[in-house]
């Protein structure tokens, strides 16, 4: 087995694990939204999970290169110069998908969940336009997560420990704080994970472009049936 074949096998299995992880991460806020609201896109945690950075960027666009890399590994059905070439060519899609995942994730982390910017975390403020994906150093500070509360319901005072109703139930303000904390935690965890997935897929994609090109030039090891 040549060095290129070994690296191609490693890249293929790594990309397979990363794309599955990206799809699962992207699905988490969608499932939470479905459980909380009873239907999709009803007061979502944020707009950015609906850009599908993990399902499309880190998922579907990575499938062709993953398939080609696994097919071009040692003793696989596509273990030849052509297989190496296609694994290199299709890895361009992986790089593009990974970059899309990175940009959307960074934008999501810079803005925070909808509950921090839209009363009732309404989806009316969602704008699905590529010119909205802009990252600035000034906005990427994660203060929406580090602050105790990023927003409070209009007309309500901050809740206190003794601020309870006559029947002993917690007021709406404290319930809102619990919901806010959950949305902030899910949002940070999901898009931090997707950012890491995108960066790793970008590295593996660039690596496979180079390795596949070298494998196409240098060739692969001969199969035992071909050795006289």
Give yes or no for a contact between 195 and 106, defined as CB atoms under 8 angstroms apart.
Answer: yes
Write the pLDDT tens digit of every residue in 152-179.
455 444 444 444 444 554 444 445 567 7
Whole-number average pLDDT of the chain: 80
The number of beta carbons lying within 10 Å of the beta carbon of residue 114 is: 23
Distance CA 123, CA 154 (A): 18
What pLDDT, on the 0 to 100 scale, is given for residue 78? 72
Q: What is the mean pLDDT of residues 41-53?
A: 85
pLDDT interval class at 191 (50, 70, 90): very high
Alpha helices in 47-162 (DSSP H): 63-71, 81-111, 143-146
For residue 200, pLDDT over 90 is answered with yes
pTM assigned to the model: 0.80
pLDDT interval class at 147 (50, 70, 90): confident
Task: For residue 160, give every residue at least 6 positions away whose Cβ sits within 8 Å of its Cβ, in sequence order, or none.
Answer: none
Three-class SS state of 155 = coil
What pLDDT, on the 0 to 100 scale, is given for residue 57? 96
Distance CA 130, CA 140 (A): 18
Write the pLDDT tens digit of every residue in 61-104.
999 999 999 988 766 677 788 888 999 999 999 999 999 999 99
């Amino acid at each position: 087995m040549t060095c290129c074949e070994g690296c191609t096998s490693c890249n293929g299995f790594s990309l397979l694990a990363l794309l599955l992880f990206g799809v699962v991460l992207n699905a988490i806020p969608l499932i939470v939204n479905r459980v909380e609201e009873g239907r999709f896109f009803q007061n979502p945690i944020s707009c950015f999970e609906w850009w599908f950075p993990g399902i499309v960027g880190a998922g579907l666009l990575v499938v062709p290169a993953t398939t080609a890399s696994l097919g071009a590994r040692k003793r696989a059905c596509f273990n030849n110069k052509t297989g190496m070439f296609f694994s290199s060519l299709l890895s361009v899609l992986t790089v593009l998908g990974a970059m899309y995942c990175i940009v959307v994730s960074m934008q999501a982390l810079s803005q925070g969940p909808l509950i921090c910017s839209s009363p009732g975390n309404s989806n009316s403020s969602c704008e699905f336009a590529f010119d909205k994906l802009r990252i600035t150093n000034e906005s990427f500070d994660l203060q929406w997560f580090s602050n105790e509360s990023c927003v409070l319901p209009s007309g309500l005072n901050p809740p206190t420990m003794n601020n309870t109703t006559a029947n002993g139930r917690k007021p709406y303000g404290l319930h809102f704080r619990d919901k806010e904390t959950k949305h902030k935690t899910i949002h940070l965890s999901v898009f931090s994970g997707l950012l890491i997935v995108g960066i790793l897929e970008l590295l593996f994609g660039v690596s496979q472009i180079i390795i596949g090109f070298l494998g196409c030039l240098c060739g692969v090891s001969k199969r035992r049936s071909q050795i006289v």
